[in-house]
Amino acid sequence: MTKELSPILIRADLGETYEDRKMIAEAALEAGYTDIVIRKEDAALTRLARYNAILADGEFLYLNGEKLGTIADITDSEGMEKAYKITTPYAVVNPADWRVIPLENLISRFQKTETKLYACVATPAEAKLARETMEVGCDGIAVVVSSPAELAAFGKADSDAMPEAELTEAVVSAITPLSLGDRVCIDTCSLLAQGEGMLVGSSSACLFLICSESFDSEYVNSRPFRVNAGAVHSYILCPDGTTHYLSEVKAGTPLLSRLPDGTLRSVDTGRVKIERRPMILVEAEANGKKHSVVVQNAETIRLGTPSGAVSVADLAVGDTVLVRLESGGRHFGHAMAETILEK
């Protein structure tokens, strides 16, 4: 089975000297990137840390001995035609002259194939263009830089890769205690701020902001790494814009987290606890439609509201909560433009 790569590759194979290439690889690791392209002869760099060291050998990319991708340097129409014929799992295209039309052609050609298209980019502006061209954009980007400072600029622009997570207000219409159910408690590898949380819902059309347990109560101390997310059937939003069922989340799964100021970031799952607990159904209306989320019936579970995180124990009909609305449906976690009715 072909390894699934993250949406961002770092090309540490292009520096003139070994020290130049090592410097980029080290900076990429320090910035948290895990998919790094290195030269075959630079295999010593694999000892810097544990990461996906993708070996560049001529025009091909290898991972763990498997041919993973093809690099296509595009300087003219002949190079474009050669790129069109790539059938490896990944195509990493490196345009000599950044223009929109060639990129549109490549995206359209690969959109209905099994090959994932990655565009080499040298600036955050090029990365943004690669992600937005023809609305769907490339499947990923391969970052080409010559210094750690240039790589740091991509770190600041990394939120551009995040999905839209604009929140709107929904009015609570019903709160109904349920019987026992299986709920998913997510412990992350990060410390979460008060009011920071994840987007969870019974339907992908409406995801509620479920806040972290970063508050002390008279019964338990705060657990600022934890989001008690909800019932196993629920959707949760990921940093690449896809969703998982909560039942699918496991150690190592990256999840999208939203800070109170609206900043988005990716946090890794360190541990998941699925336990039987009393549950509660919260229903809310937005834009004339009713939506819901099922969470544990406990005072430590808080939903995001315009005035801050509010415990489900204190939530009342008529209160306002914050939600992310989306049209269409989901197919294996990917957004689809389809008519769907979920109740």
Q: How confident is the model at residue 342 (pLDDT cuts 50, 70, 90)?
A: low
CATH number (domain holding residue 60):
3.20.20.70
Pair 172, 147 in one domain? no
The gap from C-alpha 31 to its chain's centroid, in whole angstroms, comes to 16
**What whole-number percentage of the chain has pLDDT above 70?**
91
Among residues 130, 161, 192, the one where a domain terminates is 161
Pair 108, 227 in one domain? no
Tell me the pLDDT of the chain averaged across its residues: 89
Inside any domain, residue 343: no
pLDDT of residue 343: 63
Inside any domain, residue 341: no
- pLDDT higher than 60, residue 267: yes
pTM above threshold 0.75: no
Give alpha helix (H) positions in the chain.
18-30, 77-84, 100-110, 124-132, 148-156
Pair 250, 325 in one domain? yes
Q: Give the integer Cα–Cα distance in Å for 315 and 331.
A: 32
DSSP assignment of 224-264 equals TTEEEEEETT-EEE-TTS-EEEGGG--TT-EEEEE-TTS-E
pLDDT of residue 39: 96
- pLDDT higher than 70, residue 108: yes
Q: Which of 260, 192, 263, 262 shows the shortest CA–CA distance to 229?
A: 192
pLDDT of residue 218: 73
Pair 86, 123 in one domain? yes
CATH number (domain holding residue 187):
2.170.16
Q: How many helices (H) and strands (E) would you count in the chain?
A: 5, 22
Inside any domain, residue 25: yes
Pair 86, 213 in one domain? no
Pair 116, 207 in one domain? no
- pLDDT higher than 70, residue 207: yes
Inside any domain, residue 1: no
Pair 227, 265 in one domain? yes
Among residues 117, 144, 161, the one where a domain terminates is 161
pLDDT of residue 339: 47
Environment class of residue 28 by beta-carbon count within 10 Å: exposed (0-12), middle (13-18) or buried (19+)?
A: buried
The H-or-E segment that residue 56 falls in is: strand 52-57
Domain holding 264, by residue range, is 168-336
For residue range 162-177, list pLDDT tens digits in order.
777 899 999 999 999 9
Among residues 131, 161, 191, the one where a domain terminates is 161
Q: What is the count of structural domains for the chain?
A: 2
Q: Give the integer Cα–Cα distance in Å for 246 and 230.
A: 8
User: β-strands 206-211, 320-325: how paired?
Assistant: antiparallel
Pair 213, 124 in one domain? no
